[in-house]
Amino acid sequence: MNTTLKIGIIIIILVIIGSAGYYFWQKPEELPPEITPVEEKLPPGEKPLALSICENISDQDIKNACIGGVTENITLCNGGYECYTAVAILKNDPSICEKGPSPSLCYWNFALVRKNVSFCFLLSDRDRDSCLLKLAEIEKNFSFCGLIIDSTFSTGCYDALFEIIKPNKPDMCKAIALYYEHFRCENDIVSKYTDDIEECKKISVPLNKYRCLARVTNNVSICDEMYEALKDNIFINTLREKDECYSEVYSKVAMETKDLTLCEKIDDTFRKEKCFRDIAVETKNISICEKIESDYKFTCYSIIAKVTGDANICEDVPLRPNVIHCYEMVAVSTENATLCEKLTDRKDKERCFRKIAELTNDTTLCQKLDDLGVRASCVTEIASKTGDASGCEILPQGYFKDYCYLVAAYKTMNVELLIYL
C-alpha cells in the first residue's frame, strides 16, 4: 500500500470519527439568554432594634463595627470585613468592599444578598463557583450552573436545582450551554419528571427522546427502535442504553402497578434493587426490603423509617452503624431531638442536635454541643438567619457572644452574612 493511499485512508477515518462526534456532541441549537444582573431592592430594616442589639456587645471595636454597619458609617468599621460588607450592601455600593480587609468575602455576600451574579466573577476559582452555585439555588436559575467551571460544583448545582425545581419540560435545559450538562439535564428529566409525550418530542438529543417516549408510553419496543437507530454511533454504548431504557420502563410500570415481578425483569442489580426499594417506600412495606441483597437494604429500611417517622424500624436495620444513621435520619426529619440521645458517638449525637437546632431555630439545642466554637457557630447561624439575638445570651462573655450580636443586628437590617467563625 503506497503512502498516498495510507494518508487517504487515515483522512477518511478521521472525517468519519469527526462526523460521528459532531452528531452526538453537537451543542443545543439555542444557547442560554444573556444574563443581566438584577439589582435586588432590600426591604427597610429595623434600625432602632439593630442599634439596641449592638449595645449588648462588650468589645468596643466590635460594638463600633456593629453600629457602623447599621448606620452605614465605615469610619467605625475598625478593619472588620463584616462592617464593610454591611455598609456596601446597605448603600448598594460594592466599591466599599475594596476598602475592607477581605474584598472577596464582601463581594461574595454582596452578590448573594443583592442577587447580582456579576459580582461572583470578581472572585477566583472555587469562591466564584461556590458563589454561582449558591446564587443558582437562591434564584432557581439553571443558567448560573452553566457558568461554573469546576465540574464538581456544576454537577452539585444541577443536582440541587433538580431537587428544588423538579423540572418537567426539556425546554428548561436550553439554558445550559455545556453539551454534557445539557444532555444530563434532559436525561434526568426523562428519568424522573416528564410524563407528556409532546414534551418528549421536543427533546433535542435522539437518545433521550427515544427513552422519554418509551417511558411515557410504557412501551419497551421503542427501546429496541432506539438500539437499531443508534447502534452504529461509536460514541454510544447502545446495548447498555437499551438495557437502561428497559429498566426505566419496567421500573415506572412496576411503581404504577406495585408489581414486584416487573422489578425482577430488570437485569442491572442496582436498578432492580432501586425498583424494590421505591415500591417498598411507596407502600411503606418493609418486608419488600428483604428482596434487596446489597447495602441498599439498609437504605430501604431507613427511608421507610424516615417517611413514617417510626424510629422502631431502625432496630431492624442490619449493622450497628446503619442503625445509628437511621435514628439520625428519623430524628432530623421529625425534628425529634430526643432520638439524638440514642446515638452513642458524641460527634454523631452533636451533629444530630445541630441539624435539628438549625432546622427549628432552637438555640437551646445548641447548648448540648460541648465544643464552645461549635456551639457558638450553631447559635450564630440561627441569629444570622432570624435576627433574633436572644440566643446569643447562652454564650459566655467574649468574642463569640459579641459576634453573635453583630450578625443578629445586621440581619434586622436584612443583611444576612456568611458566618465566618
pTM metric for this prediction: 0.76
pLDDT at 8 over 90: no
Mean pLDDT calculated for residue range 225-241: 90
User: For 266, left (φ over 0), alpha (ψ -120 to 50), or beta?
Assistant: beta
The pLDDT tens digits of the residues spanning 151-166 come to 788 878 888 887 787 7
Residue 43 has pLDDT above 70, yes or no: no
* In the predicted structure, residue 315 carries a pLDDT above the cut 90: no
Q: State residue 175's pLDDT score.
A: 66
Cα–Cα distance measured from residue 215 to residue 217, given in angstroms and rounded to the nearest whole number: 6
Provide the pLDDT confidence category of residue 41 given band limits of 50, 70 and 90. Answer: low
Q: Which residues of 214-247 are buried (b: 16+ CB within 10 A; e: fewer)?
A: bbbeeebebbeebbeebeebeebebeebbbbbbb
Distances (CA, A) of 26 to 178, 189, 204: 10, 19, 10
Asked whether the predicted pLDDT for residue 416 surpasses 90, the reply is no
Surface-to-core class of residue 280, CB atoms within 10 Å of its CB (0-12 exposed, 13-18 middle, 19+ buried): buried
Q: Please give the mean pLDDT across all residues of the chain.
A: 84
Predicted confidence at residue 156, as pLDDT, reads: 84
Measured distance CA(382)–CA(404) in Å, rounded:
9
Identify which has the larger pLDDT, 312 or 17. 312
Q: What is the pLDDT of residue 25?
A: 31
Of the candidates 148, 117, 151, 146, which has an alpha carbon nearest to the alpha carbon of residue 36?
Answer: 117
State whether the Cα torsion 302-304-309-312 is positive or negative. Answer: negative
Comparing C-alpha atoms, which of 56, 59, 64 is closest to residue 82?
Answer: 64
The confidence score (pLDDT) of residue 54 equals 96
Does residue 79 come out as left (phi exceeding 0), alpha (psi in the -120 to 50 range) or beta?
left
Q: pLDDT grade, residue 35 (50/70/90)?
A: very low
Which of the residue ranges 34-48, 116-130, 221-235 would you say has the lowest mean pLDDT? Answer: 34-48
So what's the pLDDT on residue 169? 77
Q: For a pLDDT cut of 70, what percent of the chain falls above it?
A: 87
pLDDT at 26 over 70: no
Grid cell for residue 153 = 460544583
Q: How far apart are CA 192 and CA 303, in angstroms?
A: 19
Q: Kindly state the average pLDDT of the residues 23-48.
A: 50
Of 65-79, 192-206, 386-400, which range is least confident? 192-206
